[in-house]
Structure 1
Amino acid sequence: MRLALAQIISTDDGEANLAIVERFATDARAQGAELVVFPEATMRAFGGTLADVAEPIDGPWATAVRAIAARLDLTIVVGMFTPGEAGRVRNTLLVAAPDTVAHYDKVHLFDAFGFAESDTVDAGDRAVTVAVGGTTIGLATCYDLRFPALFLSNAVAGARLSIVCASWGAGPGKAEQWDLLVRARAVDTTTFVIAVGQGDPASQGRASTGAAPTGIGRSAVVSPFGEILHQLGAQEGLLVVDVDPGELDAARQKLPVLANRRLDL
């Protein structure tokens, strides 16, 4: 599978962000990618209101993404916001493909490091896997990365790739934690981890907005043994890589953590 990691820096303008999606997706397809992954909050960057842009997955913004996917004949995974309860929204990953539409609502809300996502966001209540080109992928969003059970659930359901879309906040030790966690989740589940974060606004001379998480970059492709195979820096960029999900069979023979796990403890 040839896939692309689109490390962008989204703004508070949904139409401008949609244009960024189209530009990066077009470039990815020109390089032969069949799957392109964008970060969390691609629809609108954190730091402003979200309820005024939230829409259903059949709304105009998501419909435009699906049109891009259909025109380019590829699958797009992208972070957006959908309506929740009582004025809240859901932090949603849209999976748009020519013949498939699916979505995942972030389960673990980021109430940490001085930020309270639960003030404005409703949590999802289920894990989601999706087949892309015959390969099952598991979906996760940012803070989910700190919770191994979600990734294990996806792997047990057949996921061979774990996709993480993030807007990872900066701070002391946060970059090191990101690198550690993307590697750990790969080893926990013997899956490839495809981790795509927002780039760092500082790389464009833009300041972060209050306590809202923006991004640090460092999008990565991690092997089932926890080796970082490819990684971007802080700036925007498109990383196109070839991943062979068939390599998981050999990895799982050598490191059969899924087969050896104990369920009776």
Structure 2
Amino acid sequence: MTGSPSIISVALEQICVRAGTADANRTMMVHRSRAAFDAGADLVVMPELAVSGYVIEADTVADVAEPLDGPSLAAMTAVAARGDGLVAYGFCERDGSDFFNTVVVADGDGPVLHYRKLHLFDAEKHVYSPGDLGLPVADTRVGRLGVCICYDLRFVEVLRVMSLRGAELVLAPAAWVGGFDSRVPTSGATRHVDGVIAQANLDQVAVVAVSQVAGASHGGPATLGGSVAVDGYGDLLVGPLSRLEADSALVEVDLEAVRAARLRGELIRPRDDRRTDVYGLEYGGESL
């Protein structure tokens, strides 16, 4: 984006939320976001379903759900305006009779990205509707951003589509749990992180993935924490954060370095080297 800074400061706010207690969680999110902005953040990233906790029971979802323009947007827009930055947060969205696992990226004027989770994981399929807003990418004051949620990262087309549409930084709020991999390491990086690292390198896009942590002690599943930020070469910028407790980090992401990662050598140009005469990827009716 013309006029956007090359180096941005991103806060990873790995919070431990209580399932079903939206007001208390929202208050905590405001407090953590204010502290992050005061520490110099340009962009604050919260986990998937940060407002509600990771809720998958129909009655609870109905209780905590809110419209896009509900109290969470009001609170997070206000804190973004105060900090003169952007906030990404997950919440349970109600739209008519449908519920969506949603992430919004907001600045002081309101949403700049609105995303509904495309790939519902396990029991989410019983209560949430599949996302219907595609894979949005938008120019913002902190560069060209994309967004996805948790399980979406297990589908290689997701980061590939956003990177080919120009995303420099993809935000991936999450509530990482076991169930996909054959094993879950008890410490350090989970297999989720392995996937983020590999895809960031292959797609030449930076990724910030922020998970909930320790949800089982607060009425939710055993979320794994371990949040990370990765650059366009797949190198860790920060993390994994704590696997057991709430944690945070402030990291600089160099967007110019992300753009430079698209050229690995005079004859090593991953995007130009794609054999689109043999295979292709289509998004929204457009060949990428």
Q: Distance in 1 between matches of 2:71 and 2:259?
A: 41
Deviation, 1:51, is 1.8
Aligned with residue 272 of structure 2, among 248, 259, 262: 259
Show the counterpart of 2:11.
4
Q: Distance in 1 between matches of 2:198 and 2:65?
A: 33
SS in 2 for 1:3: strand
Alignment partner of 1:53 is 2:64: yes
Structure 1 portions without partners, runs of 5+:
none
Q: Distance in 2 between matches of 1:134 and 1:228?
A: 20
**1:75 and 1:132 in contact (8 A); partners too:** no
Show the counterpart of 2:81.
70
- What is the 5 A alignment of 1:1-265? 1-11=8-18, 12-47=20-55, 48=57, 49-84=60-95, 87-101=97-111, 102-111=113-122, 116-125=123-132, 126-170=134-178, 173-174=183-184, 176-201=190-215, 206=217, 209=220, 213-231=221-239, 232-234=241-243, 235-254=245-264, 256-263=269-276, 264-265=278-279
Change in Cα spacing, 1:214 to 1:78, as seen in structure 2 (3 Å) is: farther
Q: Which moved more, 1:90-99 or 1:40-49?
A: 40-49
Structure 2 portions without partners, runs of 5+:
1-7, 280-288
SS in 1 for 2:34: helix
SS in 2 for 1:2: strand
Letter in 2 for 1:69: A
Deviation, 1:188, is 2.5
Q: Which moved more, 1:40-49 or 1:73-82?
A: 40-49
Runs of 4+ more than 4 Å apart: none
Q: Deviations over 1:115-155 (max 9, x none)?
A: x2111001113011122325111101000010111111111
SS in 1 for 2:81: helix
SS in 1 for 2:64: coil
TM-score, normalising length: structure 2: 0.82
Aligned length: 254
Deviation, 1:84, is 4.5
Give me the CA root mean square deviation: 1.9
Q: Deviations over 1:127-186 (max 9, x none)?
A: 111223251111010000101111111111110011111001146524532121111220
Q: Distance in 1 between matches of 2:128 and 2:170?
A: 23
**1:208 and 1:214 in contact (8 A); partners too:** no
Letter in 2 for 1:37: V
Q: Distance in 2 between matches of 1:84 and 1:15?
A: 20
Identity rate, percent? 33
